[in-house]
Chain A
């Protein structure tokens, strides 16, 4: 069992860590008076900006049909959850999250911006996504994929931003 009690560990004992997906697993600590192996599981601290975006995305789940007065569909939970995953990835890599909102078809947009360059990532209700790259509002790159568009284009996003 993984112990979650970080306070049991003296600061100086926390010397190394390894990353495992979204979690950081600190080095095992053998207490001086106990042979019980203790792990500390720390949820990585998100920036306040990322927390704000995630909170905003969560709030989209509360919106009803026609929230925009033009007949918009209720934001898709699949799309919201995929967008949250991206926000975490972007934050881990210090990439500039700029904006997020639901679209009229239940999709979610996450936007990144750096000077005149903008990246829009659309998360569709069916789980697919679509990336657009713009410079001065002109589309330079447009990539749709049924699965893992983000993963396939991650290096490109990192390079641009």
Chain B
């Protein structure tokens, strides 16, 4: 059953899975490489999950391979991107959203630099 499309607020946290063992997008100083927010060719945008519509357990998929990082929706908006709720019904992921717009590597670097880690599973 399809649910409503929500409006993403500036203060919404947008979650992104990041591989943390080889291949690893977390550098030695804890910062992320630009690749963590890179666009895959032919994709409409960068996939994220809206935090308030999901759980960390569901979003992380595999705690042995990934960690969760978040951006406030205001961050990509301030960089000229749109944050659009696009549920992924194929994968039963209502929280799915896309960062859309002109995404190039320098912009991916800014997104990666602004991302903060979610402490899950807790240290």
Interface size on B, residues (CB 8 A): 26
A59 neighbours in B (Cβ, 8 Å): 22
Any chain A CB within 8 A of the CB of B34?
A: yes
Interface size class of A (residues with CB under 8 A): 20 to 34
Q: Known contacts being A70-B17, A104-B40, A120-B34, is A139 close to B23, with CB within 8 Å?
A: no
Any chain B CB within 8 A of the CB of A151?
A: no
B58 neighbours in A (Cβ, 8 Å): none
Any chain B CB within 8 A of the CB of A154?
A: no
CB of B67 to closest CB in A, whole Å: 12
CB of B42 to closest CB in A, whole Å: 9
Any chain A CB within 8 A of the CB of B2?
A: no
Q: Do B106 and A101 touch across chains, with their CB atoms under 8 A apart?
A: no
B13 neighbours in A (Cβ, 8 Å): none
A104 touches which one: B39, B109, B110 (CB < 8 A)?
A: B39
Q: Known contacts being A59-B22, A69-B62, is A103 close to B109, with CB within 8 Å?
A: no
Q: Do A101 and B24 touch across chains, with their CB atoms under 8 A apart?
A: yes
Q: Do B17 and A103 touch across chains, with their CB atoms under 8 A apart?
A: no
Any chain B CB within 8 A of the CB of A60?
A: yes
CB of A108 to closest CB in B, whole Å: 10
B residues in contact (CB < 8 Å) with A: 17, 19, 22-25, 27-28, 33-35, 38-41, 43, 47, 61-62, 65-66, 105-106, 109-110, 113
6 tightest CB-CB pairs across the interface, nearest first? Answer: A139-B106, A104-B40, A137-B113, A103-B35, A99-B27, A105-B41
